[in-house]
Structure 1
Amino acid sequence: MSDLAQLTPTILWQHFAKICSIPHPSKHEEALANHIVDWAKEKKLHVERDAVGNILIRKPATAGMENRKSVVLQAHLDMVPQKNNDTEHDFEKDPIQAYVDGQWVKARGTTLGADNGIGMASALAVLSDDSLSHGPIEVLLTMTEETGMDGAFGLQPNWLQSEILINTDSETEGEIYMGCAGGVDCKTNLPLSREDIPAGHQLFKLSLKGLKGGHSGGDIHLGLGNANKLMSRFLFANAESLGLRLLSFNGGTLRNAIPREATVVLSLPAGNVDRLKQAISDYLSVIKHELSAVEKNLALVVEPTECGLKALTADSQSRLIGLLNASPNGVIRMSDSVKGVVETSLNLGVVTTDQDQAQVIYLIRSLIDSGKEYVADMLISLGQLAGAQTSAKGGYPGWQPDPESPIMSLVRDSYKKLFDTTPNIMVIHAGLECGLFKRPYPDMDMVSIGPTITGPHSPDEQVHIPSVARYWQLLTQLLKSIPERN
C-alpha cells in the first residue's frame, strides 16, 4: 500500500489505499460503510444512511459558489470477489494486496476493486480537499451493486437534493457514457436422479482452468472462453463413446463474471482411462487453436479423485449436458442505433450441482427491454425441453440516452478544453445504476465518467495510473464549471 501513497493525485490514492485495506465484497460492505460514516462525522460533514444502507454525505459549497447547481457524486461500495485458483485469500477478512506495476495498479492474485473503488475514492477526495472550488456537493455510495443493485433499487425519492448526478463507474478514460444496458437474472433448476456407480469404474476430477474471465457486460464481445460452455462441449462430445458417468458439475462463481474455471467429477470404465486422456489432449488442441487470440493459458487437467455422490442416471446426465451444451452464451445482437455496441447478450455464469438438482444462473443484458424478454423466453423454452424450471427475476432498466443532456455537453466541452481532444460519447453494455436512479429522480441530469480499468471482475483487473490523474482533472474542473441554478 505504501506504493499507492506515492501516486498522484495523492489525496485520491490515499483514500483508495484505505478502501483496499477494508474487506468489502458484495453483501459484506458494512465494515467499509461504517469506516466512511465515522470518517465523515470526524470531518463534520452531514452524513446519513437509508433503509437499505446507502450512504449520503453532504458538503457545502465553497465561498461564492452557493448558487451553483448541486451535484451528486455517486459510486457503489462493493467489489467483485474473484481470485486465482492458487491464491489464498478470504475476501471477507483479508485486505486487497494492491501494488504498482509500471503505469498500472494491480492486485496480487485477486480482483483489485478499482471497480468502483477508484470512483468512491475520488468522491471522498472531493469531500476531503478544501482547496477545490465547487457548488453544493452530495456523495451517494450505494450498497451491493455487483450482485443485484440493491442500493439503487432501494433509493427513495426526495432524499437527494441535487439536479445533476455524476456516476463514477465507467472504465475507459476519454469516453463519456450517457446510457447503459438493463439486465435480468435467469435461473434454471433441473431435477437430478442418481444411481450407484457401475462396477469397474474409476473416478476422476476434470478441471478446466486458466481462462481470463472478465466483465460479463464490458468484455462479452471479446470472444473470451466460458469455462461452463467449454466443459459441457467436451462432455457432450465424449460422454457416450467413453462410457462417462457424471457425478458433479461446478463452474463459475458470479453471474456477472465470465467463468474462468469449471470442474466435473466423473467415472468411467477402467479400460477407457487412456482413451479419456487422449480425448482431453485432442480437445485441448482444438480449443487452444480456436481461442488462440484471446486465451493463452487455457488448461484441462485430469486427476484421480474420490466422491461421496452417486452417479447421475443416464437420463439426468443427458438432460444436464444437453441443457448446458445448447445454452446460448455471449453476444446475441449488436445495436443498429449505437454502432459498435452490443445490444443484447447473456452470460452462462454459474453451474452448481447437489444431490437432487442442478442450478444454472445466467445474466442477460440488453439496451432494449424486448431483447431481455427474447433471451429469457429462449432460456425458458430450453429449460422446458430439458425438463427444467426456468425463472427470470431481478430485472433492472437500462439508462436511455439523452443527446440533449446539459451535463453531458459540459463534460464534453470541459474534456476538450483540458486535453485538446474530443471525447467519445458512448452507451455502455454494462449495467450502471443510472437507469434505476431515474425512477425516483426522473428529471435528474446524469452522466458517467471514470479512469481506464481493464480486466474488471477478474484477477487481471488493473487501473491505469495516468488515466486516474486525467479523470481527477476532469472531475474537479467539472465541479468548478457547474452553472448557477435557474
Structure 2
Amino acid sequence: MSTDILRLEPHAVWRNFYSLTRVPRPSGHEEKIREFVSGFGRKLGLETIVDEVGNVIIRKPATSGMEKRKGVILQAHLDMVPEKNGDKLHDFARDPIDAFVDGDWVRARGTTLGADNGMGVAAAMAVLESTTLRHGFIEALFTCEEEAGMTGAIGLKPDLLKGEILLNMDSEDEGELFIGCAGGLDGTMTFSYSEERISADYTGFVIRVSGLKGGHSGMDIHLGRGNANKIMNRILYEGHARYGMRLASIDGGTLRNAIPREATATVAVPTANTGTFYEGLSILAGKIKHELSTADPELCIEVVPAGTPEMVIEAGVVVRLLNALYACPDGVMRMSSDMAGLVETSSNLAMVTSVHGVVTIKCLLRSSVDSAMEDLKAMIGSLFDLAGAGAVFDGGYPGWKPNPDSPILKRMQEVYTSKFGKTPEIKAVHAGLECGIIGGTSPSLDMISFGPTIRYPHSPDEKVNIASVGKFWDFLVETLRMAP
C-alpha cells in the first residue's frame, strides 16, 4: 500500500483522503465509514448527529467575528462505486483502496479510487478540524448511499439543516460551477423463463465482452463509449438468427449508474454450425471493434469453446429478449436546447442478468425535463410490454433547476476571478446531484456544486488531478471566508 499521497499538498485534505481509502465504503455497506466519520466529529468535540437513514451531520461554530454570516452546509456523500477489473481480487466491503501517485494524478490499482466523493468528504473534514480558517457557522452533511439511489438525500429531514447556503462538493471539473442537474428514474424489466434440456448434438461456447472504458452513465454518456450489454446482445442476436445458437445464461453490468464494461454469456450451437458460427462472430467482432476503435480501443470480444450446458433458456423467451434489448434505448436521447453541449435526456442499459428463471434488465433514465423523462419512461415501458416483459419504474428523484441570480453564485464568481485571474464556467450537469433532492425539500437553500478534476469516475480508471485539488481547496477556503 502506497503512502505517497500523504506527502501531497494541501496536506490536511490528502491526509483525510488517505484515511478514507483505508475504510471500506461501497454503496449499501457504509457502517464502517459512518462510524469513522461520526467518531471524527465527536473526537473534535463537535455536535455530531447520525440520522435515522444513516446520514452524518457535524456542526462547527463560526470563528470569532464571523457569527453573523450565513451558515454554510458542506455536503458530500460517504459511499463510493465498487468497480474493479475482472482480474482484480478485491473485496470492497473489507479491503482498503490501494491508492498511489501516478505523475500528476492519484489513482488506484485495478479498482475505483473513491475520489467520487471522497475528495469532498476529505475537504469537509479538513475544514472541521482546522483551527486557523475563518468562516461562519459550518454544517457538514455527509449523506449515505448516493451511488445506489440517493437514499440519504431522499431520507433527509429538512428541519435537521440549519445552514442557508449549500456547497455540494461532488462535481468533477475544477474551475466549473454547477447550478443545475438532471433528475433520474430506475427502470427494471423482467422476463420469466423455463429451461429446456439441450440435445447431444450441440457444442458449448462462452462469449465475453471486456476492455471497455465504461464510466459514469450521466457524465460520460455523450462520449460514445461502448455498452457491454448492447455489444453482447448484438453478438447473441447474430448467433441466434444465423447459426441456431441457444442461450443458457447472461450476465452483464454491475451498477445502474455505470456504463457497463463487461458482459458474459454461455451459449450452445449446433455442432454442425460451430465452424461458421465462430468465423461469423469473429467477423462481426472485428466490425464492432472497428466502430469503437477511437472511443474504446481496448475492447476485447472473445468466443471461447466451453463445456456444453445441460439446460438453456426456452427459445421463445430468447427471441423476445434479444429483440427487446436490441430496440432498448441506450445513450443520448436529446441534447439541451438551452445550454450548449449539455445532454438533456439519456438512458443507460446498465444490467442484464439471468438467475433462477428470471432475466432482469435494469436501466437508469435521466433528464432535466420532466416531460421528457415521462416520454422516455413510456417508450421503454411500451417496448418491454410488447415483448411480454414486466416493467417497474421507481427510485425517481428530481432535477435541480438553475438559478443564475443565486447570491452565492455571484460571490463565488467574484472569489474565483480574484484568486485565479479568470472567470469560472457556469454549467449544469447531466447527472443526479443531491442538490436536486435536498433543494426540493428545502427550497430556500442557495446551492452550488463544485470540486476538483476527476476523470473516469465509476470505473477502475478513476483518477483525480493533484493540482486541481489544491485549487479546489484554496477556492473553498476563500469562499468560506467571503461568504455573505
Output the TM-score relative to the length of structure 1: 0.98
Deviation at 1:361, TM superposition (A): 0.2
| Percent of paired sites with the same residue | 49
**Corresponding residue number in structure 1 for 2:35:** 34
Residue 243 of structure 1 aligns with an amino acid whose one-letter code is G
- Tell whether 2:109 aligns with 1:108: yes
Contact 2:203 2:308 in 1 (8 A): no
Q: What SS does the aligned partner of 1:199 have?
A: coil
Contact 2:111 2:460 in 1 (8 A): yes
> Deviations along 1:425-474, whole A, 9 cap, x unmatched?
00000110011111331101000010000000000100000000000010
Distance across 1 between alignment mates of 2:199 and 2:227: 31
Distance across 2 between alignment mates of 1:309 and 1:256: 34
- Tell whether 2:79 aligns with 1:81: no
Residue 84 of structure 1 aligns with an amino acid whose one-letter code is N
Deviation at 1:479, TM superposition (A): 0.2
Contact 1:215 1:256 in 2 (8 A): yes
> Deviations along 1:21-66, whole A, 9 cap, x unmatched?
1000001111011011112111111101111011000111111111
> Deviations along 1:335-393, whole A, 9 cap, x unmatched?
00111100000100000112321110000000011111111111111111110011110
Distance across 2 between alignment mates of 1:201 and 1:238: 14
Distance across 2 between alignment mates of 1:386 and 1:214: 29
**Corresponding residue number in structure 2 for 1:217:** 218
Deviation at 1:333, TM superposition (A): 0.3
Residue 377 of structure 2 aligns with an amino acid whose one-letter code is A
Q: What SS does the aligned partner of 1:438 have?
A: helix
Contact 1:27 1:144 in 2 (8 A): yes
Distance across 1 between alignment mates of 2:280 and 2:428: 43
**Corresponding residue number in structure 1 for 2:140:** 139
Distance across 1 between alignment mates of 2:338 and 2:228: 32
Q: What SS does the aligned partner of 2:360 have?
A: strand
Q: What SS does the aligned partner of 2:383 have?
A: helix
**Corresponding residue number in structure 2 for 1:338:** 339
Residue 458 of structure 1 aligns with an amino acid whose one-letter code is S
* Residue 454 to residue 309, structure 1, CA distance change in 2 (3 Å): farther
Contact 2:209 2:228 in 1 (8 A): yes
Distance across 2 between alignment mates of 1:10 and 1:310: 58
Contact 1:309 1:355 in 2 (8 A): no
- Tell whether 2:196 aligns with 1:195: yes
Q: Which runs of 5+ in 1 are unaligned?
A: none
**Corresponding residue number in structure 2 for 1:90:** 91
Contact 2:202 2:308 in 1 (8 A): no
Equivalences for residues 394-405 of structure 1 within 5 A: 394-405=395-406
Deviation at 1:308, TM superposition (A): 6.0
The range that moved more, 266-275 or 182-191, is 266-275
Contact 2:198 2:309 in 1 (8 A): no
> Deviations along 1:48-85, whole A, 9 cap, x unmatched?
11110110001111111111111000000000000000
Contact 2:268 2:309 in 1 (8 A): no
Contact 2:57 2:139 in 1 (8 A): yes
Distance across 2 between alignment mates of 1:280 and 1:397: 43
Distance across 2 between alignment mates of 1:360 and 1:170: 29
Equivalences for residues 93-172 of structure 1 within 5 A: 93-172=94-173
Aligned alpha-carbon RMSD (Å): 1.0
**Corresponding residue number in structure 2 for 1:286:** 287
Residue 14 of structure 1 aligns with an amino acid whose one-letter code is R
**Corresponding residue number in structure 1 for 2:417:** 416
Distance across 2 between alignment mates of 1:264 and 1:139: 45
Contact 1:80 1:146 in 2 (8 A): yes
Q: For this pair of structures, how many residues does the alignment match?
A: 483
**Corresponding residue number in structure 2 for 1:58:** 59
Deviation at 1:420, TM superposition (A): 0.5
Contact 1:61 1:134 in 2 (8 A): yes
Distance across 2 between alignment mates of 1:305 and 1:6: 50
* Residue 307 to residue 447, structure 1, CA distance change in 2 (3 Å): farther
**Corresponding residue number in structure 2 for 1:465:** 466
Equivalences for residues 356-375 of structure 1 within 5 A: 356-375=357-376
Residue 466 of structure 2 aligns with an amino acid whose one-letter code is I
Contact 1:19 1:117 in 2 (8 A): yes
- Tell whether 2:407 aligns with 1:406: yes
